[in-house]
Structure 1
């Protein structure tokens, strides 16, 4: 007995590798050779190296596997849970009366998974069921409602579908707010305001609900920013989504000016429009001066990609609105935006980042154009050399931009629309300037007006190349560009008594009434295609069908305007007595007359 114990203790002595073999992870074989009175391993002996043997140690015994123990614990928990669930089920289904009690008591115990049994003269098969916590979660997801505003709710299943549609259909039209997750529960906890805004924009209700949501949204934004002094990216993203899919007429009325300025101010306050590698300024802030004196100042890190997209998105919206109105933007061009584009193009976290970068690049050109023309005097006199250079440089940059587009974006409808809108605005000063004050030395005034006219026509015809399934997902700049093109065509066809322009020759280039009718038919066909925003209803009409009706009103308006007749929406003529034409005619005619006779 003692001998066996001694053998076991000797076997437990484990020869360990020397320090050199252990360090190189090599096999250490001990030999009987000695060097300086110390045993040497075979590897050190051959290499004539100093072999340092570690002190002898005992072999560690292995215990029971913790993995097996953990699995056994889980299985015991599952079986106990199923047993409790079965007991609860038997208690609920326990028949009343003494006979039922006797039957239940005399039944032999069964396994946790119930088997078919005879009870009360009929066969019942009890299927294995999920624990109540799982079934409650599934049932709550199917029946629970998510309240957007008071009186407007949406089930969680429909909300999931809306978010999927947003990522697939609407994000490619406005790629500045991609979602990290499309799980409604998670978004409702992390970004509730953004979720509510997305759901309402993608599934708007009737006119009254939209008015209620607009009021609630503005009050909520004002309370968060002004009262609570909140500053976060979610607020700016919600404002972006709210503004992007609005009717462009709201920007003309100035209804969204305050929201745009709030968003631009938040970007500046949160330093989303700058990065640590920004070039040195001629004037420092007081914080930078304090830092130069040697005091510790909190390090300002540059924005992440979500912050970069947010800043670029507000720049895109503000520049689109300023191009439409011909006014300076509330968010100026910043050289940092080009660095942001380089970073996003390098990282490419989302497939839509490539389109985002190209949209920002072309809006940078629009910003340069607006800045150049906003510096001109308002009396029709322009600095000739400055504006001649402006046309030459911007036209060259547009050509370079088009030549460097990725192949998959070369025919993108958004980029095409922005490019044509910039060209219309680029040559527009020729219309408003006097012949002797025409700014471009290399071009005659007639050629400038003709280029504006041709690009406006191209803009309108290229609009009809847009796929029908994305029309309902388009943002306000797209329809604003179409309106601007139609307005320029009608204005130029109406010009008389100008020695540099002949409207009768221009009429041979385009049949404006036929063009408007084709656009109306295009919107009518788009209204028949189901899409994410297909349910936008106004006065029992789909929004695209309403656009088609507006264009029908414009066709009547043009026939009166271009013929020189007085426009009287409530006249007694035969055309005006048709009930279909009278629907909203007065407001539509006043709207178009404001555009054509105004300064747009």
Structure 2
């Protein structure tokens, strides 16, 4: 009811508040744990934009869902128990009943929580990850073979995208020591290895016309996650300064440029696929797709304010390109809002979108100022800027607040 009550935003928020209270009552007071409760929390979390104004509870809701997955044993196959598994004394006298085979709904729910967790980690904040256990791949295989619902294939493909994202995280980001002055050039080799996995996955992703755009959007978001490692300025200053030769670009310089241009192209591809969505789809779009858009706008802005001897954003893009892109996004969303207002019953997006155009204008202005200042500052100093921390914006707090105040919540990776 919270998600579908789009004809009255105030009533929608009242229902959302009551549901938040009901979640707390049923979990903490009544100690409930069942699949239906988990499914409700998943839907509530997936359309987080409908109730984020009530107070930020994104991480708490995600952890509650993950906890229920564990309590219900959805992350384990019935035959996966071992003699070395954790246990307490009560299990000695407990009747050992045979475990039933996982139902399709349980598998869908498990995969859905994994997908949500992975996307939030990529786009919003570095929360605790759900490990890509073998049960994830097994659940995907079972749903693919069963074909009980036309949506199962779509869910499985989304999950496969995030499984590769887990590989990228473990390969590139998990052990990245942010205290190091420079990053080893071997990172380029690791990036190339994972890039092949991404390309192989892309060749297998196909859906009907209605679902192809959001699926492709998620795939390009995966590419953004892969290539954004190039924004880390420690890569721009190799351990051997002789590797950089302005008259003859080195392999190091070419690889850095390749990562940055690829990241820019992936960002634009996400936005272009968003612009292909129909108005009814935009009006019903889950929070997970809004944060992909927000993260891409964020990454676009970072590319504009990144300046080094290996990267001048004005050679391939510019603030004017950024501005025109955000203008197209604004026109698309406002068109959907206008179309929704004329429906019977009317359908409205949450109040956060009402001042969207002005917010985007402010973002463009601040990014333009930051980009100009960074370019001027780099030109005036012979040393490289401070190392880029992938957990923080390379611009002032006001710009950051504008960015994640629209299409986001929390600190972007």
Distance 1:319 1:357 in 2: 14
In angstroms, what is the RMSD of aligned CA positions? 3.7
Q: 1:297 to 1:595 in 2, by over 3 A?
A: same
TM-score, structure 2 normalization? 0.77
> 1:234 aligns to what?
36
> 1:555 aligns to what?
361
Distance 1:204 1:448 in 2: 41
Q: 1:448 to 1:393 in 2, by over 3 A?
A: same
> 2:263 aligns to what?
452
Higher relative contact order structure (alpha carbons within 8 Å, sequence separation ≥ 6): 2
Q: Which has the higher helix share?
A: 2
Listed as ranges, the gaps of 5+ residues in structure 1 are: 1-198, 568-586
> 1:430 aligns to what?
230
Per-residue displacement from partner, 1:397-443 (whole Å, max 9, x unpaired)?
222222223463797122211111111121212212312358x9796
Listed as ranges, the gaps of 5+ residues in structure 2 are: 240-250, 374-396
TM-score, structure 1 normalization? 0.55
Out of 500, 509, 517, the residue aligned to residue 327 of structure 2 is: 517
CA contact (8 A) 1:487 1:595 kept: no
Q: Which has the higher strand share?
A: 1
Per-residue displacement from partner, 1:376-407 (whole Å, max 9, x unpaired)?
21225576476445423332222222222346
Q: 1:387 to 1:331 in 2, by over 3 A?
A: same
1:350 aligns with 2:152: no
The structural deviation recorded for 1:375 is 2.5
Out of 102, 118, 122, the residue aligned to residue 323 of structure 1 is: 122
Distance 2:349 2:135 in 1: 41
Distance 1:442 1:345 in 2: 43
Q: 1:555 to 1:259 in 2, by over 3 A?
A: same
Distance 2:210 2:166 in 1: 22
Per-residue displacement from partner, 1:488-519 (whole Å, max 9, x unpaired)?
222222234x1111132133697222111111
Out of 336, 339, 362, the residue aligned to residue 529 of structure 1 is: 339
Q: 1:407 to 1:296 in 2, by over 3 A?
A: closer
Per-residue displacement from partner, 1:266-313 (whole Å, max 9, x unpaired)?
1111111111243x768333379978xx99522222321111111111
Aligned length: 370
Q: 1:377 to 1:528 in 2, by over 3 A?
A: same
1:379 aligns with 2:379: no
Pairing 1:130-149 to 2, within 5 Å after superposition: none
Out of 258, 267, 270, the residue aligned to residue 72 of structure 2 is: 270
Out of 260, 277, 282, the residue aligned to residue 471 of structure 1 is: 282
Pairing 1:133-282 to 2, within 5 Å after superposition: 199-204=1-6, 206=8, 208-247=10-49, 250=52, 254-278=56-80
Secondary structure at the aligned position of 2:25 is classed as helix
- When Rg is computed on C-alpha atoms for both structures, the one with the higher figure is 1
Distance 1:267 1:321 in 2: 17
Out of 220, 231, 243, the residue aligned to residue 420 of structure 1 is: 220
Distance 2:2 2:356 in 1: 24
Distance 2:133 2:313 in 1: 41
1:507 aligns with 2:356: no
Which range moved further: 445-454 or 229-238?
A: 445-454
1:332 aligns with 2:131: yes
Distance 2:363 2:344 in 1: 32
> 2:163 aligns to what?
364
> 1:28 aligns to what?
none
CA contact (8 A) 2:2 2:50 kept: no
